[in-house]
Amino acid sequence: MVIIAGVMAIAAMIIAPLVPLSTPGPAMADTPWLTVSDDGYLSISIPAASVEAKVGQVSEVMVEGNFGPSSAWAEYGLTRRGDVWWGALGPLKPGLYSYQVTGDITKGLKDPTNPTGVASRPLWSTFLVPGGPGDDARLLVDPPQGRGGEVETLAYQTGRQKRSALVWTPPGYPAKGRGPYPVLYLRSGAGQSASDWLDLGRARQILDNLSVRGSVEPMVVVITDGSDDDKEVKDLRKAVADAYRVRHDREHQAIAGVAEGGTRALRAALTKPGDFAYAGSFSGLPAGGALSGGAGRDLRLLRLYTGNVTDPAYNATVRLTRALDRAGIRYEFDGVNPDAGANWTAWRENLIDFLPRLFRTVRDHGPSAGHGRLKGEFHPPAPGTTPTPFLSEGGFVTFETTTDFTDAKHVTVWANDAPGGSWLRVPMSRDGDRWRVTVGPLDPWFYYYQWIVDGVSVKDTSNPSKVTSEPNWSHFLVPGERSRLLSDVPAGRGGKVESLTYPSTVANQDRTALVWTPPGYDPRRAEPYPVLYLQHGSGQSYTDWVEMGRAKQILDHEFLDGKLVPMVVVMGNGNVPDFTKELLDNIVPAARARYNVSGDPSRQALAGLSMGGVQTLGVLKAYPGRFAYVAAFSAWFGSGDGVDAEAINKGTKMLRLYVGDQTDFVQPFFLSSLPVLDGLGIHYEYDGVTPGPHGWDVWQKNLTDLAPRLFKR
């Protein structure tokens, strides 16, 4: 990653506090570690001293949370800036997020500045990104004061064991003159607790808000951890009947659950038709034999839910629907959730869909909006049979290591697959003598990644792609219209990229640049070609615009699309103490000597990213008018002292500026430069932030926008 030394935390970012949740906890410290803006950008600033006081000295700090593709658990590494660990991530979709802070992979700690908690996970905290009108996330907030239901604990005896369940009763329970209430038994999965339905599933808020809206029948909801057997279920139902005003008949009994809890709910509904009339399976994993004897034919509702192919229940759901069809058992399928796997993001949506269907007649029996159909079982290639990454339909990518890490303890894939193109580490699972994970869906785009093995960066040697300046990175392309400009054009139709070696009087050695010439380039053309000098950033070199920036593909496509003035693009090496001298005395003369390019300022352009952008603006200040077209990506103008604004305006046809969103740490410095430019009266173009961080996802978009604008004025 390109990071300019000395850049400090984004202190100037305007952010709002995390949306508070109702879970009680310790008093908050003065300064929150995590804050989220109204538009879903997460800002993280954790004092290093606070971490060390809890877990001792650490060399790395991350925030682990459900930030990954399909809401998968992922690790977001922070950057040490002075006395804080800093990071920014987003925009996050509306919904509930859970997280913990971890140092050096194994040293976990709870955020003391966030009063929320998860009873079954003592180190976890949560925060809510609110939704807009019509968004289901609006159902996750607390209802108006005094309008919600109540949650209490029900203790009961089963055999010699004492057990407990959580019971939600609707607003106004027990209403005077109101008859007994129907009951929903809601179960958690293996390794979960009943309280997870409250802390992570937000079941209380969902029930409260749906009740306030009148979208559900008044009911009693009994929440268990899902580990009870048939006898325990019988004892629990008796305890509920003794303690609450509930109906006992089958037509007013429902059961549902997540994962293994969904499996048990299915089994109970299909094998004990006299107990339940309504059943829901949220990512359930039904066992064989559940359909024996034609059970379940008289269910009033059997509704199945599954996430996408990252959900372990996906294939099981394919097999179950086929078995139900063969058995002639009626069921409803909510469709494949394209954006979530087996996690609480999906299960909250499942509960929101399921509850209004209970104990009433409904007209809509189809899938939720945006959900797709089952397309058969999903099976990536067997381990060791194909290079990675392996791309599947729909943007799902399977990563697999070689057998070199059989003794490793913790392996992740670190890639630009977070919202906006930030970098997340998704944990991999051991699969025989390899490590493997399927992530997605990824939007069509250009991705780069590496393994992190027990904290050490490692290249995927099965992927032949390379990045010269970052030897551990590999890359791949997810094809699609969104990534078309980043893909290769048909063979023989694109321009050429050649190496240009030149003597550098600044570095006192021979240096190299890469040069793109357009299709049909004619070295003898009477009119010299206009030329763009395109610079890289700190920690990079002249190869990066081709290997990571996809400059050739972008320029090839835009030329073939008729958007580009035929030009030559020179990508030089800016790693020198005096870039201005290197450019004007070495790179430009070498390019003019080798290629048919113009020396007329009106036919020359200069652009760069990050450090290269600062260098570009430095040339503009020192030699106004030398390049008529100037652009800077994720950089800043700096001081206006000694700047000849009149000369810049007179000699510059276009000065165009770009920057990423709140996750681009340069943004505050960039924004502070705009008043300087305005005060000097310098003419410039700025169309607003480019969505994404301080990375190639942004700079590829910047080049795509810039190139067609050059040499047309």
Cα angle for residues 309, 314, 317 (degrees, 5° grid): 160
The predicted pLDDT at position 296 comes to 64
Q: How confident is the model at residue 2, as a pLDDT?
A: 38
Task: Give the CB-side neighbour count of residue 141, counting CA atoms within 13 A.
Answer: 16
CATH code reported for the domain at 390-479: 2.60.40.10
- pLDDT value of position 417: 95
Looking at residues 5-31, what average pLDDT do you find? 41
pLDDT tops 80 at residue 10: no
Residues in the chain: 713
In contact, 455 and 518? CB cutoff 8 Å: no
pTM above 0.85, yes or no: yes
Q: How far apart are CA 546 and CA 554, in angstroms?
A: 10
- Lowest-confidence region among 216-220, 270-274, 399-403, 676-680: 270-274
Q: Residue 291 — pLDDT band, cuts 50, 70, 90?
A: low
pLDDT at 232: 82
| Domains of the chain by residue range | 34-130, 138-357, 390-479, 488-709
Q: Are residues 662 and 694 in contact, defined by beta-carbon separation less than 8 angstroms?
A: no
- pLDDT computed for residue 190 by the predictor: 86
Residue carrying structure tokens 């397309």: 375
Residue 28: its pLDDT value, please? Answer: 46
Average pLDDT over residues 543-552: 98
Tokens at residue 605, please? Answer: 């352009």
- Encode pLDDT of 493-513 as tens digits: 999 999 999 999 999 999 999
Residue 31 has pLDDT above 70, yes or no: yes
For the chain, the C-alpha Rg in angstroms (whole number) is 30
Distance CA 189, CA 262 (A): 7
3-state secondary structure of 243: helix
Peptide bond into 115 cis (omega under 30): no
The tens digit of pLDDT for each residue in 451-466 reads: 999 999 999 999 999 9
**Residue 713 has what pLDDT?**
86
Give 6's pLDDT tier (boundaries 50, 70, 90).
Answer: very low
Average pLDDT, the chain: 92
Instruction: Give the helix/strand (H/E) hosting 655.
Output: strand 654-658
Domains 34-130 and 390-479 share a fold: yes
Cα(656)–Cα(633) distance, rounded to whole angstroms? 9
The CATH number of the structural domain formed by 488-709 is 3.40.50.1820
Range with the poorest average pLDDT among 153-157, 267-271, 393-397, 471-475: 267-271
The class of domain 34-130 in CATH terms is: mainly beta
Give the residue-averaged pLDDT of 26-41: 81
List the CATH code of the domain at 138-357: 3.40.50.1820
pLDDT tens digits for 107-158?
999 999 999 999 999 999 999 998 877 788 899 999 999 999 999 999 998 8
The predicted structure's pLDDT at residue 228: 64
Burial of 427 (0-12, 13-18, 19+ CB in 10 A): middle
Supply the DSSP string of 14-73, one letter for each residue.
---PPBP-S---SPPPSS-SEEE-TTS-EEEEEEHHHHHHHH---S-EEEEES-SGGG--
Of 87-101, 287-301, 420-434, 557-571, minimum mean pLDDT range: 287-301
Distance of alpha carbon 45 from alpha carbon 61, whole angstroms:
11
pLDDT at 343 over 50: yes
Q: What percent of the chain has pLDDT over 70?
A: 94
pLDDT of residue 288: 54
Question: What is the pLDDT averaged over residues 320-339?
Answer: 93
Mean pLDDT to the nearest integer, 51-74: 96
